[in-house]
Amino acid sequence: GNSVTQMEGPVTLSEEAFLTINCTYTATGYPSLFWYVQYPGEGLQLLLKATKADDKGSNKGFEATYRKETTSFHLEKGSVQVSDSAVYFCALSVMEYGNKLVFGAGTILRVKS
């Protein structure tokens, strides 16, 4: 089946630290991969995406590279800010599943000043 596994949180970092949130997937077809961010009390916002192997998605200093050989899409940021504190969701979609998104459980990120 289709599934996404994310590292468990919460992840607590100091401001300007390096961030990695691991995400691995299993998929029945060739998936597109996404990272979404959710700030407290709000809906989800698309952070970045990648649609084929070796593509790198990037936005607001965050990056993730589609690694087909390791079925991974890890999220990274070189220097986090307090304003990055949120819940981060990794997700995939496959055409064989009607392009519906399959989400990971989410990882809480807390950044301390």
**Smaller CB separation from another protein, 53 or 95:** 95
The residues, any chain, with a CB within 8 Å of residue 41's CB and separated by 6 or more, are none
Site for another protein in 23-82 (CB under 8 A): 32, 34, 36, 41-46, 49, 51
**Geometric angle at alpha carbon 49, from 87 and 109, rounded to 5°:** 15
**Smaller CB separation from another protein, 36 or 73:** 36
**Smaller CB separation from another protein, 7 or 17:** 7
Distance in Å from the first CA to the final CA of the chain: 41
What token pair was written down for 10?
């919460």
Question: Which residues lie near another protein (CB under 8 A)?
Answer: 32, 34, 36, 41-46, 49, 51, 89, 91, 93, 95, 98-101, 103-106
